[in-house]
């Protein structure tokens, strides 16, 4: 299983994420239709138009297995596990406490 805190990049757009809460499902984490890779890894492929909804900077995305990633750089691709798109986590806002 991918470790919490791991940073991953899309091969086909600018998206970068950090793993906030890992799950086995993230082994098949994709962006823009292509598997996400370590930041230093080589990249190849092209954005799949079927997975081009985009990712939003600073937002958290979750899957049904409880995995959670945080977008640290926005891009054109859709975040997905396999072919199932992750959903945007709607957080109940907490008041500033520090």
Partner 1 sequence: MATSSDPDRTAVVSGDVRLTTQQLSDLADGGAGIVAGSQASHVAYIGTGGVMLPLLIFASARAGVTFTPINYRLSADGIKTLVARLRDPLVVVDSRYVEELGGPDGLEGVAKRVIVSDDFLSQAADAEPAAEFADPDSVGVVLFTSGTTSQPKAVELTHNNLTSYVTGTVEFGSAEPTDAALICVPPYHIAGVSAALSNLYAGRKMVYLPIFDPEEWVRLIDAEHVTSATVVPTMLDRIVTVLQAGGHRLASLRNLAYGGSKVPLPLVRTALELLPHVGFVNAYGLTETSSTIAVLTPDDHRDAQAAADPAVLRRLGSVGQPVPSIEVQIRDESGVVLPAGQTGELFVRGEQVSGRYTGIGSVLDAEGWFPTRDIATLDEGGYLFIGGRSDDTIIRGGENIAPAELEEVLVEHPHVRDVAVVGVEDPQWGQAIVAVVVPAVGADPDPDELREHVRKSLRGSRTPDRVVFRDELPTNATGKVLRREIVEELRAAPAE
CB of 77 to partner 1, least distance (A): 18
Q: Could you give the C-alpha distances from 73 to 8, 57, 85, 92, 97, in angstroms and in order? A: 10, 6, 18, 23, 26
> Would you say 42 or 98 has its CB closer to partner 1?
98
**CA–CA dist 40, 94 (Å, integer):** 36
Strand partners, 85: 80
Beta carbons within 10 angstroms of residue 96's beta carbon: 5
Is there binding between residue 40 and partner 1 (CB under 8 A)? no
Q: Which of residues 72, 76, 85, 88 is near partner 1 by CB under 8 A?
A: 72
Is residue 37 a contact residue for partner 1 (CB under 8 A)? no
> Binding segment for partner 1 among 30-38, 43-51, 66-74, 76-84 (CB under 8 A)?
66-74
Kindly list the residues in this chain that would bind partner 1 in the complex (CB under 8 A): 3-7, 18, 20-21, 57-60, 70, 72-73, 91-98
């Amino acid at each position: 299983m991918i470790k919490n805190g791991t940073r991953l990049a899309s091969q086909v757009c600018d998206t970068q994420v950090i793993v906030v809460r890992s799950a086995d499902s993230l082994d098949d984490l994709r962006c823009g239709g292509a598997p996400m890779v370590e930041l230093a890894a080589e990249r190849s492929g092209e954005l799949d138009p079927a997975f081009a909804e985009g990712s939003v900077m600073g937002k958290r995305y979750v899957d049904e297995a409880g995995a959670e990633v945080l977008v640290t750089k926005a891009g054109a691709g859709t975040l997905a596990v396999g072919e199932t798109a992750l959903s945007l986590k709607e957080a109940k806002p907490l008041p500033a406490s520090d």
